Amino acid sequence: MKSFLTAIFCIGFTLTSTAQISPFLQKGKNGFGLNMGTEKGSGFNGLFLELGTSVKGVFDAELSYYDLGFDQDELHLLSDDSKARYYELALTWWFLRSKPASFVDVNLGLRPTFELSDYSNFRYPTPDGAGVIRYKEFYNAAIGLRSNVVFHLPEKWMIQPFFNVEYEIGEEAEKTAQWSDYKTEKGMISSLGVTVGKEFVNQQTLYVSMRQYSNSYGIGDYFDLAVGYVFPW
Amino acid sequence: MKRFYLSLVCFAIALTSFGQISPFLEKGQSGFGVGAGLEKGQHFDGFSAKAGVSLNGVFDIEVNYFRDQIDQQLEEITLLKDDATGSYTEILLTWWLLRSKASDFIDVNFGLSPGFEFAGYDGYEYNIGSQSMEYKGYYGGELGVSSNVVFNLEKNWRLMPFYLLFYEVGLDKGEANADESKTNYHGFTSSLGVTLSKRLEKGNSVYFSFRQTSDTYSPGGFYNVEIGYILPW
């Protein structure tokens, strides 16, 4: 049963946001960013929306919301309308923002995160098949590193490969008719991706980002695709 | 049995070092490097230590040591004891075939890395039905390629994304009902990561590195963070 629970856990814990507002802005500029996208993994898919602000091109603060649906057959659930919502608050301190050449920016950030979730109708049988476990929620805290290199191309296009890694620790809650339990879990996740952006007037930028996630929980990778917009203020 | 061995092998085989002393040095310069780190995977966590030399900034010789604590409850088996450990030693040579300076601020390095590795497990005992089993460890050889791009930033900072790919072949050692057995393994391991370093006086460098490792033995990745020091001589 543990592997199954771990898999569930992982679905939630790996949903970290893009955290890339400041890299679209010049150092010293404030900005606002939003993005939305879709994600797909083994046994789940969903949508997400993120809003955030950059202060001086050095600190990002972001709020993210995810809405997921789960595959009953793939996860052996007892309900066909199992859903989850996640809420995430993330701060990123871009402690290294360097411009080694006119067309290249290199950015490295430290990123603490806090995340909450709420599951509905996420029920599955106990290992002996005699009872039902209801997975209720989890919450966690994480500390991560963000790295990217921005290549400024002709006609104000930019391409930005990035690699992020994060260590997480948290608790998940599950319940049966007889007991209620909280379990501590910890692990690491990483995401690798590319963002393509186009800058318009006044440094406003429209972008598309694609990512692949991996993790230490022993389940497969999953993917997301986002479109976003950043503008200075 | 084979499947079980494969799941074990992934603990160890993926623990290749990142083989990067020369990229911190000028071509033609020799140096010494040490590093220490922590790692976390699906069912293990531990620490790593390494020491090595670079000859003329072209050949690296490294000795790496890893020691991991392994969870008692694994995916398919439960160990009889809760204190199973694995110790790994690796000797790795890297011949940096290509060390090119693409511009004033970008170095590109590409190397060929043969190596030898051996591991010993302690307390890795379990039962399958009426059979008592013990996994003892493995030994094998590896051949890989190491690649990285070094961005030389302001104030002597450097950011170095890297990617390694290794092919490995060797023998697992175990015991079934006190009879010794050996099983062949082979597969690929890759590592993707980023190193941030600061160059100090006289070419000394301190670095911090984080990376994700994947392999053909299991669906999950594992992670390593390392700090180290490079001293030219």
What residues in A contact B223, CB-CB < 8 Å?
165, 167, 188, 190, 216
Q: What is the mean pLDDT of chain B?
A: 86
Cα–Cα distance, B190 to B166 (Å, whole number): 6
Cα–Cα distance, A31 to B219 (Å, whole number): 39
Percent of chain B with pLDDT over 90: 55
Count CA atoms within 13 Å of residue B29 on its CB side.
18
Whether residue B221 lies within 8 A of chain A, CB to CB, comes out as yes
The answer to whether the Cα torsion of A39, A41, A46, A48 is positive or negative is negative
- The CATH number covering residue B100 comes to 2.40.128.130
The Cβ of residue A81 has, within 10 Å, a number of other Cβ atoms equal to: 11
Taking an 8 Å cut-off on Cβ atoms, the answer to whether A106 and B159 are in contact is yes
- The CATH number covering residue A146 comes to 2.40.128
Whether residue B73 lies within 8 A of chain A, CB to CB, comes out as yes
The residue ranges of DSSP E strands in A14-103, in sequence order, are: 31-41, 44-55, 59-70, 83-101
Per-residue pLDDT tens digits for B123-171: 988 888 888 888 899 999 999 999 999 999 988 999 999 999 999 999 9
Residue with token string 């290549």: A151
pLDDT attached to residue B20:
79
Whether residue B223 lies within 8 A of chain A, CB to CB, comes out as yes
pLDDT attached to residue A114:
93
Q: Determine the residue type at A48.
A: F
What residues in A contact B148, CB-CB < 8 Å?
none
Count CA atoms within 13 Å of residue A67 on its CB side.
6
For the segment B113-132, the average pLDDT, to the nearest whole number, is 89
Task: Name the pLDDT band for A19 (thresholds 50, 70, 90).
Answer: low
pLDDT attached to residue A180:
80
Residue of B223, B225, B226 to mutate when probing chain A, most A C-beta within 10 A? B223
For chain A, the residues whose C-beta falls within 8 A of a C-beta of chain B are 2-3, 96, 98-101, 104, 106, 108, 145, 147, 149, 161, 163, 165, 167, 186-188, 190, 192, 214-220
**Does B194 or A42 have the greater pLDDT score?**
B194
Return the HEC string of B168-212: EEEEEEEEECCEEEEEEEEEEEEEEEEEEEEECHHHCEEEEEEEE
For the ranges A28-42, A217-231, B155-169, the lowest mean pLDDT is seen at A217-231
Whether residue B41 lies within 8 A of chain A, CB to CB, comes out as yes
| pTM exceeds 0.90 for this model | no
For the segment B46-64, the average pLDDT, to the nearest whole number, is 94
Task: Name the pLDDT band for B195 (thresholds 50, 70, 90).
Answer: very high
What's the structural domain count of chain B?
Answer: 1
**Does A173 or B63 have the greater pLDDT score?**
B63
Give the structural domain span for A219.
2-232
What residues in B contact A183, CB-CB < 8 Å?
none
Whether residue B93 lies within 8 A of chain A, CB to CB, comes out as no
**Does A75 or A98 have the greater pLDDT score?**
A98
B206 CB-near residues (< 8 Å, 6+ apart): B197, B198, B200, B227, B228, B229, B230
Percent of chain A with pLDDT over 90: 53
- Scanning every residue of chain B, which has its alpha carbon at the shortest distance from the alpha carbon of A99? B153
Per-residue pLDDT tens digits for B62-80: 999 999 998 888 777 788 8
Task: Name the pLDDT band for A10 (thresholds 50, 70, 90).
Answer: very low
Cα–Cα distance, B25 to B2 (Å, whole number): 44
What's the structural domain count of chain A?
Answer: 1
What residues in A contact B159, CB-CB < 8 Å?
96, 98, 106, 108, 147, 149
CA angle (A170 as vertex; A164, A173 as ends), nearest 5: 135
Q: Is the pLDDT of residue A219 over 80?
A: no
Q: List A185's β-bridge partners, or say none.
A: A170
ipTM of the shown complex:
0.75
**What tokens does B213 get?**
């490792």
Give the structural domain span for B33.
2-232
Taking an 8 Å cut-off on Cβ atoms, the answer to whether B159 and A96 are in contact is yes
